[in-house]
Amino acid sequence: MEATIYHNSRCSKCRSSLALLNENGIDPEIINYLDNPPTQAELKHLLQLLGKQPQDVIRFNEGVAKDLGLSAKDDRSADEWIKLMITNPVLIERPIVVIDDKAVLGRPPENILSII
């Protein structure tokens, strides 16, 4: 089983999700996405695994989103949303957990149990 968590150590949901993985015997690769944001191709792949559109995983309440005047109703292409997330990784909802060919948002952390 291959597992990865896109993680922010300051986030309680990320820490809880990592603990839940560990409790279930899973030692995932930890990617601090704020320091190492996913590439455009990686983010597209994550979105495909999640079954979500880019604006579905944007943290619109973040200060950066407000500073940029972002809204879920903005008329942007998927590529434009993805570029915004790569440039401003704090906008990416967290944590994202990938196990083999399945992915889920760990909000709440118990969502992870659905792919273990």
* pLDDT tens digits for range 52-101: 999 999 999 999 999 999 998 999 999 999 999 999 999 999 999 999 99
* pLDDT tens digits for range 1-60: 899 999 999 999 999 999 999 999 999 999 999 999 999 999 999 999 999 999 999 999
Nearest to 104 by CA among 52, 62, 30, 31: 52
Q: From the candidates 11, 26, 49, 116, give the one annotated as an active-site residue.
A: 11
Instruction: Work out the widest C-alpha separation in the chain, in whole angstroms.
Output: 43
Tokens of 38: 């996913």
Neighbour-count burial of 17, counting CB atoms closer than 10 A to its CB (0-12 exposed, 13-18 middle, 19+ buried)? buried
CATH 3.40.30.10 at 3-115, yes or no: yes
Edge-first strand listing for the sheet containing 29-32: 29-32, 3-7, 96-99, 102-105
Spans of all domains in the chain: 3-115
Q: What is the residue-averaged pLDDT of the chain?
A: 96
Nearest to 116 by CA among 22, 8, 11, 15: 22
Collapse the DSSP code of 4 into the 3-class scheme (helix H, G, I; strand E, B; otherwise coil) and give the result.
strand
Q: Is 14 a catalytic residue?
A: no
Stated as kind and residue range, the H or E segment containing 43 is helix 40-50
Give the whole-angstrom CA distance, residue 16 versus residue 25: 14
Provide the whole-model pTM: 0.94
